[in-house]
């Protein structure tokens, strides 16, 4: 009984902390030089030239990641994570709670199109060694910016477990991008929308 009560109290405390975090005024709006702290989705009364106006900031359902190399769209609630494991390599990861999603790597000194087979082997090595059957097929996609990305897609099966991976790349003589999509069909319906939105909106700005 004590354990159950403690768990209940902890869960209530956590819910309260989450509610406070969601309502925190983590944004600012500046009108005519005056700055007001605001929270998403809340209405605020602000005076402009002696007149009271209502201001509210909403987050769009579809957000955009953009840097000097690439841009793409993704649903709100997800957050791209950026890492630089090497000075000549940067990667951006967008993963759902189920572990599905996309990984984009920016190669600053080499063209990654020759690394597709190596990367595909790396991402499927665990399943292959476990005994998954593998079906491989070519992948080709015209990006929103007009370039052709080429690579391979694989389907891995073991009993009822089905995994899908795609590895593709494009680039020039000494730079380029590689992207990887990961989808487990057990949690695939909504997560596949994340991947399809990425593929439909991916833009490469370099050439």
- pTM over 0.85, yes/no: no
For residue 178, pLDDT beyond 60: yes
| pLDDT the model gives residue 26 | 79
* Nearest Cα to Cα of residue 181 among 170, 196, 171: 196
Domains and CATH numbers, the chain: 2-56 (no CATH), 62-204 (3.40.1000.10)
| Side-chain-facing half-sphere of 42: CA atoms under 13 Å | 16
CB atoms within 10 A of CB 132: 18
Q: How confident is residue 187, by pLDDT bands cut at 50, 70 and 90?
A: low
Between 30 and 148, name the one with better pLDDT: 148
Q: What is the pLDDT of residues 81-111, one digit of tens each?
A: 999 988 999 999 999 988 899 999 999 999 9
Q: How far apart are CA 157 and CA 131, in angstroms?
A: 9
- Most confident option among 38-47, 48-57, 177-186: 177-186
For residue 181, pLDDT beyond 60: yes
Between 171 and 46, name the one with better pLDDT: 171
Mean pLDDT value across residues 47-74: 89
Q: How confident is residue 15, by pLDDT bands cut at 50, 70 and 90?
A: very low
Asked which of 6-15, 28-37, 80-89 is least confident by mean pLDDT, the reply is: 6-15
pLDDT averaged over the chain?
A: 85
Do residues 59 and 67 lie in contact, with contact meaning Cβ atoms separated by under 8 Å? no
E strand or H helix that includes residue 3: helix 2-23
Mean pLDDT value across residues 181-205: 91
Burial of 14 (0-12, 13-18, 19+ CB in 10 A): exposed
| pLDDT the model gives residue 8 | 35
Q: How confident is residue 23, by pLDDT bands cut at 50, 70 and 90?
A: low
What are the C-alpha distances in Å from 102 to residues 29, 142, 147, 167, 181? Answer: 33, 17, 19, 10, 4
Mean pLDDT value across residues 15-36: 64
Q: What is the pLDDT of residues 95-154, one digit of tens each?
A: 998 889 999 999 999 999 999 999 999 999 999 899 999 999 999 999 999 999 999 999
């Amino acid at each position: 009984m004590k354990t159950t009560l403690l768990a209940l109290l902890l869960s209530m405390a956590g819910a309260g902390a989450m509610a406070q975090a969601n309502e925190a005024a983590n944004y600012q709006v500046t009108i005519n030089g005056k700055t007001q702290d605001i929270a998403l989705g809340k209405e605020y009364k602000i005076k402009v030239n002696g007149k009271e106006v209502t201001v509210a900031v909403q987050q769009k359902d579809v957000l955009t990641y953009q840097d000097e190399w690439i841009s793409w769209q993704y649903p709100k609630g997800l957050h791209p994570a950026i890492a630089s494991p090497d000075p000549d390599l940067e990667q951006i990861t967008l993963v759902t709670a189920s572990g599905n999603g996309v990984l984009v790597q920016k190669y600053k000194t080499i063209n990654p199109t020759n690394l597709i087979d190596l990367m595909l082997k790396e991402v499927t090595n665990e399943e292959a060694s476990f005994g998954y059957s593998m079906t491989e097929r070519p992948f080709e996609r015209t990006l929103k910016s007009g370039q052709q990305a080429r690579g391979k897609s694989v389907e891995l099966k073991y009993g009822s477990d089905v995994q899908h991976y795609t590895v593709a790349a494009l680039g020039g003589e000494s730079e380029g991008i590689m992207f990887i999509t990961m989808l487990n069909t057990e949690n695939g319906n909504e997560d596949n929308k994340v991947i399809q939105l990425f593929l439909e909106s991916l833009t490469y700005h370099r050439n």
